[in-house]
Amino acid sequence: MFGGGKKTSHGPIGIDIGDHTVRMLQLTRDGDRYVALAAASRPLGRDVCLESGDAYHHAVNHVVREMLSSGKFQGRHAVSCLPAASLQYKNIRLPKMPHDELASAVQWEASERLKLSGDAMNIQFFDAGEVTQGQDVRQEVILLAAPKRFIEEHIHSLKSCDLELAAIDVVPAALARCTTHASPTDDQDADVRVVIDVGYTGTKVLITRGQRICFFKLIEIGGRHMDQALATKLQLPAAAASEARHDWMSGKTGSDGDARILAALGPVIDDLSREINLCLRYYSVTFRGRRPEEALVVGGESRNTWLWARLCEDSGLKPSPNDPLASLDLTPVHDQVGGPDIWAGWVVAAGLSLRHISLGKRKIRGAA
């Protein structure tokens, strides 16, 4: 998205700088399979994700250097992505036009609608497809805007770790690449897929059809808000509330503890479910297709089965039986990534590493 690059015999190191954890995963192609070469993860600290500027980039730089020195990564080519919260997202509709004219039209619309200066922001977009508006057929576009200053700081921070960046990507593209790389490219006949990525500071909702990104939204409700609700309800310090919730997610609490946590988290999950329902309604109305039936719930905060079952139930969706990492052989890095119960946190990192070893065969449609 925000940069191109060259290909190597193995995949680049996918660097997912999440809300409070950095994950790095490197894959290689073995026939029709993808095999993990190396993986590592380190916490940033739960307060760092709320920081910006030098403190944030220093923390990222420190953990990336540590993982590179202790891991078994091959080469220093990498694909990173900007944190989802660092971008602005907006859906716009334009008259139908050739794709080579669409980029300049999007740039103009961004400057007019968002009052963004081209000198200060980098503008990219996803072509979400054709929609009917009254009697007209329009082009639905998902606009992404990132401050150039932040991109430059991001690049400088990673290059100072002796990394050669093959590309700077974005979270929706990485999510789509990992969850759709086995799908057919004909999006007209493909099933609609909903991906709900629950993070610490927010939740990402992605809707794809085939390999076309049709919808993306960042909802500002995540693990941090669950911790705050739990701290208030149980009158606990923030750190203790976070620890109690993660013990619960890992199945370490008894029935009494479960009941109290469920009661505290209920209103937060209700709010999140309501926002997800609005996303589904927007998709159904905009593209006039059948409502999605299944959702894939991923992300570092999605490990608890009650959580993703509740989100799906409240949204009228069934939990998807598909494992987005099923086509990846993670056996060589099992000690680093853990078992299937926590693999969901590695979807973005996998999608980043897949960028230059899968795009030769298939490409995320609509990406600028």
- Interhelix angle 223-234/238-249, rounded to 10 degrees, is 110
Cβ burial, residue 281 (10 Å; 0-12/13-18/19+): exposed
Q: Comparing C-alpha atoms, which of 58, 18, 21 is closest to residue 42?
A: 21
Contacts of 208 (CB under 8 A, 6+ apart): 176, 179, 180, 183, 192, 193, 195, 214
CA distances from 280 to 117, 163, 275, 288, 333 (A): 32, 39, 9, 11, 36
Please state which of the ranges 46-55, 107-116, 215-224 shows the lowest mean pLDDT: 46-55
Contacts of 28 (CB under 8 A, 6+ apart): 9, 10, 11, 34, 35, 37, 357
The pLDDT, as a whole number, for residue 5 is 47
pLDDT tens digits, one per residue of 155-192: 988 999 999 999 999 999 999 998 876 555 545 556 78
Read off the pTM.
Answer: 0.88
The whole-angstrom separation of Cα 104 and Cα 85 is 25
Q: Comparing C-alpha atoms, which of 195, 187, 242, 192 is closest to residue 218?
A: 195
Cβ 188 vs Cβ 341: under 8 Å = no
Domains and CATH numbers, the chain: 13-224+267-358 (3.30.420.40)
The pLDDT, as a whole number, for residue 305 is 76
